[in-house]
Amino acid sequence: MLAADKQVLDACLRNELQELRRMELENIITRFDSALTPSTLIAGFSFTAIVDLDVLNPDSSDTSINEDQRIAERVFYIAASLALALSLQVTAVASAGIIFGQRLAVQATAEQGYQHDKLIAELNAKFLQCTVCVAGAMLSVVIASVSVVWMKQSASDGQGHIASWTSSVLSLVIFCTTCITVVQMFLRLHTWAPASSKLSLSASQRAAGSKQLGITADEFYVEEHVRTEYLKQRQAQAQAYLAAKSESSPLVPCVGR
């Protein structure tokens, strides 16, 4: 009976460990999925803007086009191309992260299970890279939008360029506010070393002793006093359940009589 209880305990620990690892992988997959949505939108809008924007007359003798418009046109194409490239990078990396993360959650090999922490660290590093790229793509979209305003309104809003400067200042203020908010959230909520789902267990008492000597041991072992406490708790729960069941039985009043 004691040997069977030990096997049940080992099986429960293995199952709970796998559930923890699955939860960790599902969390990372959800994060990649959240980065995939804005990247695809930015990629679509950037490509559409590059294709549909009317090209200015390249003839420098055209007096209807001033130098500010030509500079804004160059800045627009650079920023839009950068936004498209960054968003496509995020789309590719996030898609790969979702695909391989789902595979690890279901079809991980024994070697991958042993290197679970390294794989999770790799996925977290790639997600951080995706976050930086998404931020760069959004910044590029803002620069491209302001450039379009300068290109289309520079010739019609007078010498002071009121509309162009107003849109530029408002975009700059909102951008600075957003950066401050994101940096605050990053410093307060982000951790470089998140909690791990790894359990420090070994296969046997001999393996636990060899682990202290620096020899690699299996990870599923619970010391004897832990097993004893667990079995005591199970027995106490079983006795409490039987006592509650006997008290609620309809035959109890008859037995008392």
pLDDT of residue 226: 58
Mean pLDDT, the chain, rounded, equals 77
Lowest mean pLDDT across 12-26, 53-67, 116-130: 53-67
- pLDDT (average), residues 209-235: 57
Calculate mean pLDDT across residues 237-243: 81
How would residue 137 be classed by pLDDT, with cut points 50, 70 and 90?
A: very high
Could you report the per-residue pLDDT of 31-83, keeping only the tens digit for each?
899 999 999 999 999 998 888 887 766 666 666 667 777 888 888 899 999 99
Asked if pLDDT for residue 247 goes beyond 60, the answer is yes
Per-residue pLDDT at 117: 81
Q: What percent of the chain has pLDDT over 90?
A: 19
**Is a pLDDT exceeding 90 seen at residue 89?**
yes
Tell me what percent of the residues of the chain surpass a pLDDT of 70: 72
Among 102, 93, 91, CA closest to 28: 102
Q: Write the single-letter amino acid at 9.
A: L
Q: For residue 155, what pLDDT is reported? A: 59
Does this model's pTM top 0.85? My answer is no
Question: Tokens representing 65?
Answer: 């086009």
